[in-house]
A = this chain, B = another copy of it.
């Protein structure tokens, strides 16, 4: 065979292989992070010590009485002005006894994920009030129909490991109806692990009754909870919020795993200097952990210390900046160092358009968080406009970006199969290239991620095909997924039982 013929034959074999698709995903979710360490060990120690100082000397304000009783019983001590102080030893004991790793169940067990260690999963968060309209390319108010669409869309995307309701159905005015219909949208459209928020503690029990219907009977949900609650029980700086604390009590009673989010804003509700910021927000999230411990020791809580940045020119939250990338990575590093399940918010952007700013900000903030080993990267998919907006196009683009993140995390395997000098010598002295080497075919499936939305054609081919942007390609892909058949994940009997008991609005 001539060299040209060998090249052609090799190319045909490769094309045939690619047409079949890869034998397995070369970079699935749950890769291991931690290769990026923004802080030195001594710096983590200093920030942690400062956080413990704050809890011991300043403590928490606005402590609801019910919680105060529990905290004092657990070893906290009263301070001035109604504040409650946490001795260092209490905090250390709470961390030592906290849940370090847990299974975040999907209704489909194959979709469950294990949270903890240095594993990385991307998922959603957020409470966007606007949606980037697929037709107009402009923002409009988010609706219940959007939430159903987002839930269906993400159900088809591999790299979104769980689905937190990502937008608020602003067309549902009543808070109870809103919580009920949000929960229903999750049950109806996906069997991944899901998460929601409860506006009031009184909403928890009835909604758990809905989960029980989907789980197979009363009490079934609590035995294998597949919904996690997002709660922000701390109001920065350094005080509790009564409504959210009440929700925490109720969630723990129903065995709902918690994501306790601190979203302090640098320069506004927390210090602008980054180290001081990290110390305060660490203290605040530790205050959530002590609270959970005081109610039920060892209850699963994702330690979600999200460093938010305010653009001091305007006072507005900015989610796509470099300080956010850096502080989220540092936050993940600190939480993993403590051995707790870590949650941060990354792959955020301040862009409204699905444009170059969008890509740069998401690419950098997501990679920094992933490399640092954040267990759960919230807000990572579909969010735009400083978390004010949600976008269908963003979902499909972010899903592909996460494959790139996972491929980078997977790293470089160094071993006899991958570092074979004999094979190199043979190829160099033989054909003089590697196109038709056995190694090449195997590595092609095993080691390389082939994006579907990224355009790798030449400038001429791109122009001939209409000079389209990633935004346009993503619009098509999102439409295609939304228009395709999608399973209903509730049986007719479950549907009926839910609709008998709850006011399910069309969405």
A contact set with B: CB distance below 8 Å: 11, 14-15, 18, 27, 35-39, 43, 46-47, 50, 53-54, 57-58, 61, 130, 137-139, 237-238, 267-276, 278-280, 309, 311-316, 318, 320-323, 325-327, 329-330, 350-364, 367-368, 371, 385-386, 388-389, 397, 401, 403-405, 407-408, 411-415, 417-421, 423-425, 427-429, 432-435, 437, 439-440, 442-444, 447-451, 453-460, 462-463, 467-471, 474
Contact = CB atoms under 8 A, between A and B. Distances in A.
A360 B455 CA distance: 12
14 contacts: A54-B421, A271-B423, A271-B434, A272-B434, A272-B437, A276-B439, A312-B448, A321-B451, A329-B408, A353-B467, A357-B454, A357-B470, A367-B368, A386-B458
Contacts of A423: 271, 276
Q: How often does this chain occur in the complex, in copies? A: 2
A388 B357 contact: no
Contact of A326 (B11, B278, B358, B411): B411
B47 A414 contact: yes
A54 B273 contact: no
B272 A412 contact: no
A274 B39 CA distance: 29
Contacts of A359: 355-363
Contacts of A313: 14-15, 18, 450
Contacts of A412: 38-39, 43, 274-275, 278, 326-327, 330
Contacts of A439: 271-273, 276
B273 A312 contact: no
B421 A279 contact: yes
B421 A322 contact: no
A267 B367 contact: no
Contact of A46 (B355, B419, B434, B442): B419
A407 B137 contact: no
A469 B355 contact: yes
A433 B275 contact: no
Contact of A434 (B269, B456, B459): B269
A111 B433 CA distance: 42
Nearest to A353: B469
Given A139-B459, A360-B397, A385-B458, A351 B316 contact: no
A25 to B, nearest CB: 13
Nearest to A327: B412
Contacts of A323: 407, 447-449
Contacts of A454: 320-321, 350-351, 357, 361
A315 B11 contact: yes
